[in-house]
Amino acid sequence: MFERLKAMLIKEFIQTFRDPRMRVVLFVLPMIQTVIFGYAVNMDVRKIPTAVIDRDNSAQSRELLQVLFASGHFRQSIRLDNEQQAARLLDSGAIRVAVVINHGLAEKLGRGQTASVQALVDGSDSNTAGVILGYLSRFSEAQNLKLLTEQAGRSGALAPPAAVRMESRAWFNPDLASPPFYVPAVIANILYIITMLLSAMAVVREKEIGTIEQVIVTPIRKYEFILGKTLPFVLIGYANVFLISLVGWLVFRVPVRGSITLLIVATGLFLMSSLGTGLFLSTISQTQQQAKMSAFFIIFIAMLLSGFAFPVENMPKAVQWLTLINPVRWFMEVIRGLYLKGVGLEILWKQFGMLLLIGTVVLGVAVARFRKNVG
Average pLDDT for 72-80: 89
Domain 48-155, what fold?
A: abc type-2 transporter like fold (3.40.1710)
pLDDT of residue 360: 95
Residue 244 CB neighbour total at 10 angstroms? 23
User: For residue 127, what pLDDT is reported?
Assistant: 75
Predicted local confidence at residue 152, as pLDDT: 63
d(CA 106, CA 60): 6
pLDDT tens-digit map of 210-268: 666 666 666 667 777 788 888 889 999 999 999 999 999 999 888 899 999 999 999 99
pLDDT digits (tens, 9 = 90+) for 309-364: 778 888 999 999 999 999 999 999 999 999 989 999 999 999 999 999 999 999 99
pLDDT tens track for 91-137 = 888 999 999 988 888 888 777 778 888 899 998 877 788 888 888 88
pLDDT band at 375 (very low <50, low <70, confident <90, very high): low
Higher pLDDT, 16 or 161: 16
Neighbours of 28 (CB within 10 A): 12
Q: Where in the chain is the domain with CATH 3.40.1710.10?
A: 48-155
- pLDDT at residue 333, rounded to an integer: 94
pTM score = 0.78
Judged against a pLDDT cut of 60, whether residue 168 lies above it is answered with yes
Instruction: Give the pLDDT confidence score for residue 250 in this predicted structure.
Output: 92
Cα(91)–Cα(34) distance, integer angstroms: 34
* Predicted confidence (pLDDT) per residue in 29-66, tens digit: 899 988 888 777 766 677 899 999 999 988 888 888 88
- Mean pLDDT throughout 280-287? 87
Per-residue pLDDT at 167: 62
Looking at residue 156, its pLDDT comes to 58
- The angle subtended at Cα 273 by Cα 254 and Cα 368, nearest 5°, is 165
What average pLDDT does range 196-211 have in this prediction?
A: 81
The confidence score (pLDDT) of residue 98 equals 92
As a whole number of angstroms, the distance between CA 154 and CA 110 comes to 11
pLDDT confidence of residue 155: 62
pLDDT confidence of residue 1:
63
pLDDT band at 368 (very low <50, low <70, confident <90, very high): confident
